[in-house]
Amino acid sequence: MTATSVERKQLDEQGFVVLPDFIGGSTLSALKEQVEGLFEAEGENAGAEFKQEPGSRRLANLVDKGEIFAELIVLPRLLELVEAVLGPNFKLSSLNVRSVNPHYEQAQPLHADMAAIADDQGYWVCNSVWMLDDFTPDNGPIRVIPGSHRWGKLPQDVLADPTARHPEELLLTGSAGTVVVMNAHLWHGGMANRTDACRTAMHAFFARGDKPQQQHQKALLRPEVQAKLTPQLRRLLAIDDPENDRLSEAPAVRSGFLK
């Protein structure tokens, strides 16, 4: 399937688009099985390549950890919507999982990923949230402020309390297999999980080509994994791009949240 003009328009105007049943059936089952298997195998080290978080389970560097992850991040409809935000020159910045524990009451403050503000070339971060469980109003949905990607401001700079309710906020919910593509300059945050079960999502995060990757893929992927990458994946991961190596290896301040 390809992206529609309606999806592109909503992404441009509202800053997000919800894609119900983007994956399903055997693909969704295989993805969930792979994720849970990694949580079990990595144990207390899960997520250590990127970030570990009280109240949530984390996984990171997923392109290195199963062919299914590489297959999903090149789906045409996804890449077309990312291109609608970032333009044709973009790359995968990171591929992670965040699973919010049951009864974890701490919600994220409103934020833009990487504390990013659009520059003179335009937007430079785009996220996609893959719902591996149903997202309900009670188990940690995504809170968004429609249109805030256009404001050129960060919530922490203009709101007295970014954790407080916002008069324009919407909660994004959906059944497992739904994907939200989001202009990551949009003000958003993960909510508390007040249920008895985990709420798990995968995050495929993309950056414009002239920005560093959040996780330097070439440095993280094992040689045997890199050797099997298709030309399309090598481009998407910037494996053969010396300028990306320079950008991603340079010291940088990388703040913000990824749910």
Q: What is the pLDDT of residue 251?
A: 65
Give the mean model confidence (pLDDT) for residues 67-89: 98
Single pTM value for the model: 0.95
Q: What is the pLDDT of residue 1?
A: 75
Q: What is the pLDDT of residue 252?
A: 52
Least Cα distance to 254 among 89, 113, 80 occurs for 113
Q: What is the pLDDT of residue 89?
A: 98
* C-alpha–C-alpha distance, residues 19 and 228, integer Å: 30
Given a cut of 50, is residue 258 above it in pLDDT? no
Percent of the chain with pLDDT over 90: 94
Strand order in the sheet with 90-100: 16-19, 179-183, 125-131, 199-208, 90-100, 56-59
Contact partners, residue 206, CB within 8 Å, separation at least 6: 82, 86, 90, 91, 92, 93, 125, 126, 127, 128
Given a cut of 90, is residue 93 above it in pLDDT? yes
User: What's at 101, amino acid-wise?
Assistant: N
Q: Are 63 and 73 in contact (CB under 8 A)?
A: yes
Contact partners, residue 131, CB within 8 Å, separation at least 6: 174, 175, 176, 177, 178, 179, 180, 201
Question: Per-domain residue ranges for the chain?
Answer: 5-249
201-230 residue pLDDT tens: 999 999 999 999 999 999 999 999 999 999
Task: Find the largest Cα–Cα distance for the chain.
Answer: 50
Given a cut of 60, is residue 128 above it in pLDDT? yes
Q: What is the pLDDT of residue 257?
A: 43
* C-alpha–C-alpha distance, residues 122 and 160, integer Å: 27
Mean per-residue pLDDT of the chain? 95
For domain 5-249, give the CATH number. 2.60.120.620
* C-alpha–C-alpha distance, residues 99 and 60, integer Å: 12
Given a cut of 80, is residue 254 above it in pLDDT? no
Contact partners, residue 34, CB within 8 Å, separation at least 6: 65, 66, 68, 69
